[in-house]
Amino acid sequence: MANPHDAKFGTERKNEELSYAFLEGRLVPLEDAKISILTHAFLYGTGVFEGIRGYYNTEKSELYIFRLRDHYARFKLNCRFLKIELPQSIEELSEITVDLVRKSRFHEDIYIRPLGYKSAKRIGLKLDDQNDVLIFSVPMGSYLSRDHALSLMTSSWRRIEDNAIPARTKISGSYVNLSLAAAEARDNGFDEAILLNEDGTVSEAAGMNLFIVRNQKLITPPVTDNVLEGITRDTVFELARDLKILYEERTIDRSELYSADEIFLCGTGGEISGVGSVDRRKISSGEFGAFTKQIQEIYFQAVRGMNSRYKKWLTPVWNV
């Protein structure tokens, strides 16, 4: 099975369309944005990151960054877990991001990656007080399919527990846990993996929150079940309220996946992605369900500035 991730996420652009990054307090060409191999975050995974999307609206000739300040609010909060103190405020980080996107002259869908990290250059586990932040952006289309239902497998790898590495944060080293599950799924011919907690209940997909639909209601695991406190997850809650769709947060048993009326994944990278089967068991018809379609349709209207109700979530880049 071809991997849909490979061709749609990259850094190659025309020479005259040079991308930029924010590193060590200034904007530099992306190709020159380098850190030392002695950097603590590189050696030990001591960084906290965000994934932020920008969507281009061709009719309005505008690039909208989605929930930019909400992402940086979570970013600043999560940095506390690793004692990463950054001098920039949420507003300053947002302004830096818009500046580098403008300087890179993006007129396409993009992905933005900020990373707060331990910048000491040495061997040793101690968390020093040396911190820094980097931000870069690259073109990005669909990470998972927007058009066909995904096939998922339940991974043999279990989700990390809160008292090991908090799953609610985006600590870079912890994503080895998700990478192992994602690789296992693709090696076995599936699109994506679902991870269970140590007690056998459902946590989330590899890097995405998970919703099931049963009896006309959206259901998703609570954050206490070792899931990321997702921005897109929160977005789904608000969209569901506006669509008059009931939802609840509760623990989900593995067997409920097989009896669900619908399943979809959500995340900055994965957007809203419908699921057709789990462990080679068809979910309902095996196609996108009605609730998934509703949520997906209004989500893409919101992120591309096609629904004025949700303009509060958008930071325009060009027509300001």
DSSP state of 39: B
Asked if 170 is an active-site residue, the reply is: yes
CA 57 vs. chain centroid, Å, equals 21
Report strand pairing: 217-220 vs 246-249: parallel
Round to whole Å and give the CA distance between 142 and 148.
12
The 3-class secondary structure across 232-283, one letter per residue, is: HHHHHHHHHHHCCCEEEECCCEHHHHHHCCEEEEEECCCEEEEEEEECCEEC
Residues facing residue 135 across a β-bridge: 22, 114
- The neighbour count for residue 28, using CB atoms within 10 Å, is 16
Structure tokens at 92: 């300053």
Round to whole Å and give the CA distance between 154 and 281.
11
Q: Say if residue 130 is exposed, middle or buried (CB neighbours under 10 Å; 0-12, 13-18, 19+).
A: middle
- The neighbour count for residue 199, using CB atoms within 10 Å, is 10
Could you give the residue ranges of the DSSP H alpha helices within the chain?
Answer: 40-44, 68-79, 90-103, 175-187, 231-242, 254-259, 290-303
Could you say which of 34, 76, 118, 170 is catalytic? Answer: 170
Round to whole Å and give the CA distance between 33 and 70.
26
Round to whole Å and give the CA distance between 57 and 65.
11
**Nearest in space to 235 (alpha carbons), one of 206, 209, 205, 207:** 209
Residue 16 neighbours by CB under 8 Å, 6+ apart: none
Catalytic residues, by residue number, are 170
